[in-house]
Chains A and B, each alone.
Chain A
């Protein structure tokens, strides 16, 4: 057993979930180490958001176990949540709080004392300085996304869960968010990054986790993915590997359908 301080930021064991008759996740197991970025990819409906929401403690765990920094998300919910931050795919800020107050609120929620300097730094990093007095209800899609990122970054979590963090951002915002994710991981935070932008995953992630219809079809580095899933074409892009893994690309004649490594 690990103590909470040296426990891996995220351990997922046999996670499963159904919505009524639909099976959304089946037997998903993986771990993310400190300072590692794991890219979570899959077609629409593959179970990415369900997995992220289950890990964040938003959806009750139906099957399996999730440990965040050594704390069980079901049994030790509050301690587990203190260790993680989450950026949803469509953030809904509070209509009646200003941008600055969102950060103040987040700081209080995570029991932070000296947060102002870090908040200022994040306002600059996510280009929110001019919007600091704007109400949440007045923000554009991109600004809402930036605010959600700033809120998630503020408590310096040990685990960061990002669900399509770049959607709605302009090119400059995309570049600074990409840089922010890299810096975060360099600081020791484990990042689980879900995105359809495969070039982002390719650029940032050390390992990729591919889901297909709720099941893990691959977990490993991109090189391993190429070797396992698309052995005939060294140097292929993640996009080709992904399409091959999920069956979205017609396999070559006689070629095997990829299976879990």
Chain B
């Protein structure tokens, strides 16, 4: 079978792989558990797609004006292109899975055919993502159908751009790639500093124009009634994306078709350029494929920042034993070492998450006069905890491949559970409480509410991390995009989320009851409002603390019952 490109053998391989994937999917459905998980996973997808396709359209949000639609499309597409280019910088050459690379590089097929095969595989792989993004992105576009088709084409072209750049970079040599990488890091740092400036202005409620250096430059985007995406620099930088944006924001078929045909021609041209560019990428591809395989293996172990590669230079650092020299301290030390040696990733993820959360909370509560005193720090605390914990994952979620070793350690399971989550709890608590205090100091000063919220953050973080890990040990799941059985894993993930939500409600309600109850008792005893507030927070901390102690026991029980022999997707 020839799927429209040179080598029939590669076409056959692609077809066989597709058939194999379907067969594996079918086999997974044949057990009762696999069938139920498939049903749940499929239902989740259907509901999600249905929501994006119909219900979200039914909500009476007005469509964007053509100009706003174009600007937003350009900004979003620009972001995707930047991600794609940074990926190409790290993965130069042609990426092929470990199982294929040596077989195909030694097979009698031309390099052009290999590239076409890879591009087609990538295109098929990004089809689902394009579909979801298309449905989501088309919702508020002037012509949703044309927007959907346009986004689908754009999402098919993105991997081609990525591959083209990766191959060209392979020909430019390591020094140029290194320089480009450094330039990329510099631009990213500049962007984050800008984001920090925006967060500062929003939190401190200062006019954007008053910011030093960047104030005058940022002000037009933040003027009342201005579109924040309407910035001259953004328009200039994303100018090459204008045809794609015009295609996506077209209102009629007549407006859509010329842009669509033009973009399709660019797509075909890029595919052919990729295939014919005379660059020998084999050596780099071998290195890239080994690196990518190692990354996928790390992702399978847990994902998040914990899946980044430990810095080799950091191997020379001496990591302090923060939690003592005993067995519990040793386990916590091992975790601390992992965090310290992957600190770069942890730092960026934490910084970006906390900046976005601070901006989000400031925008949400903008104009509220009374609410922010307690609500803003509390929201930053809760959202910061949830986002950081899901991004960092320096806990049991990175240990799925090593659970057998962990189970053989001579330490009570409850203590292993405690030692494993403790370093992450401390790190997240410090980061989130620090953000609460900083944002509070900038906005309303270090009020009693802000300090009390910051003091309660460690208890809340412990509760969330403990719950997350407890649920993981009870219903473990690893989710790597594109892996086998992703429908079943989506089903498992749904069950996990439902369990986590239910437990979070129970523990949150207990904490809330402590908060309200203690405040009420203090009020009934005639305590002044400030004392009642302190009593409320003490009640909250006590109840959460008791819950945390219970969680350690439950976590130990779940670890004792953990069956390392079970299939986990």
Contacts and interface: CB of A to CB of B under 8 A. Distances in A.
B407 interface: yes
A94 interface: yes
B412 A95 contact: no
Contacts of B316: 133
Interface stretch (A105-113, A194-202, A241-249): A105-113
Interface in B517-569: 560-561, 563-566
Contact of A59 (B337, B410, B563): B563
B58 to A, nearest CB: 45
Interface in B398-446: 401-405, 407-413
Interface string A40-58: 0000000000100100111
Q: Among A50, A53, A108, A110, which residue has the most Cβ atoms of chain B within 10 A? A: A108
A96 B409 contact: no
Contacts of B408: 56-58, 81, 84, 86
Interface in B330-375: 330-331, 333-334, 337-338, 340-342
B304 to A, nearest CB: 14
B333 A133 contact: no
A138 interface: yes
Contact of B565 (A50, A92, A110): A50
A95 B309 contact: yes
A105 B330 contact: yes
B315 A133 contact: yes
A135 interface: yes
Contacts of A95: 298, 309-310, 338
B312 interface: yes
B228 interface: no
Contacts of B403: 58
A82 interface: yes
B309 A108 contact: no
Contacts of A50: 565
Q: Among A58, A94, A95, which residue has the most Cβ atoms of chain B within 10 A? A: A95
Nearest to A83: B410
B243 interface: no
A109 B327 contact: yes
Given A53-B565, A60-B560, A94 B409 contact: no
A185 interface: no
B182 interface: no
B326 interface: yes
Interface string A103-140: 00100111100000000000000000000011101100
A101 B317 CA distance: 11
A19 B334 CA distance: 32
A97 interface: yes
Interface string A72-100: 00000111011010101001101111100
A108 B310 contact: no
A59 B310 CA distance: 30
B554 to A, nearest CB: 17
Contacts of A77: 412-413, 560
B125 interface: no
Nearest to A50: B565
B532 to A, nearest CB: 46
Contacts of B63: none
B327 A111 contact: yes
Given A97-B334, A109-B410, A110-B327, 9 more contacts: A58-B403, A58-B407, A94-B338, A96-B314, A105-B330, A105-B333, A108-B330, A110-B410, A135-B341
Nearest to B314: A96
A81 B413 CA distance: 12
A96 B407 CA distance: 20
Contacts of B563: 59-60
Determine the main DSSP class of B at the interface with A: helix
Nearest to A56: B408
Contacts of A94: 334, 337-338, 402
A109 B331 contact: yes
A82 B340 CA distance: 29
Contacts of A57: 407-408
Interface of A: 19, 50, 53, 56-60, 77-79, 81-82, 84, 86, 88, 91-92, 94-98, 101, 105, 108-111, 133-135, 137-138
Nearest to A53: B404
B325 interface: yes
A88 B405 contact: yes
Nearest to B412: A78
Contact of B315 (A58, A79, A98, A105): A98
Interface residues on chain B, size class? 35 or more
A105 B323 CA distance: 13
Given A105-B334, A109-B327, A58 B564 contact: yes
B329 interface: yes
A92 B402 contact: yes
Q: Among A91, A95, A96, A110, which residue has the most Cβ atoms of chain B within 10 A? A: A96
A157 to B, nearest CB: 10
Contacts of A86: 405, 408
A141 to B, nearest CB: 13
A58 B338 contact: no
Contacts of B407: 56-59
Q: Among B294, B330, B401, B563, which residue has the most Cβ atoms of chain A within 10 A? A: B330
Q: Among A105, A109, A134, which residue has the most Cβ atoms of chain B within 10 A? A: A109
B338 A96 contact: yes
B53 to A, nearest CB: 38
Contacts of A56: 404, 407-408
Contacts of A92: 401-402, 405
A58 B408 CA distance: 6
Contacts of B564: 53, 58-59
Nearest to A82: B410
Nearest to B312: A135
Contacts of A60: 560-561, 563
28 contacts: A50-B565, A53-B404, A53-B564, A56-B408, A58-B404, A59-B407, A59-B563, A60-B563, A77-B560, A78-B412, A88-B405, A92-B402, A94-B337, A95-B310, A95-B338, A96-B314, A96-B338, A96-B341, A96-B342, A97-B338, A105-B330, A108-B329, A108-B330, A109-B331, A110-B327, A133-B315, A135-B312, A135-B315
B327 A134 contact: no
B67 to A, nearest CB: 49
A108 B325 contact: yes
Given A60-B560, A111-B326, A134 B412 contact: no
Contacts of B294: 137
A96 B338 CA distance: 5
A134 B340 CA distance: 16
A92 to B, nearest CB: 5
A148 to B, nearest CB: 9
A96 B333 contact: no
Contacts of B405: 86, 88, 91-92
Nearest to A163: B404
B310 A78 contact: no
B410 A81 contact: yes
Interface string B172-190: 0000000000000000000
A55 to B, nearest CB: 10
A173 B404 CA distance: 25
A108 B325 CA distance: 6
Nearest to B310: A96
B398 to A, nearest CB: 9
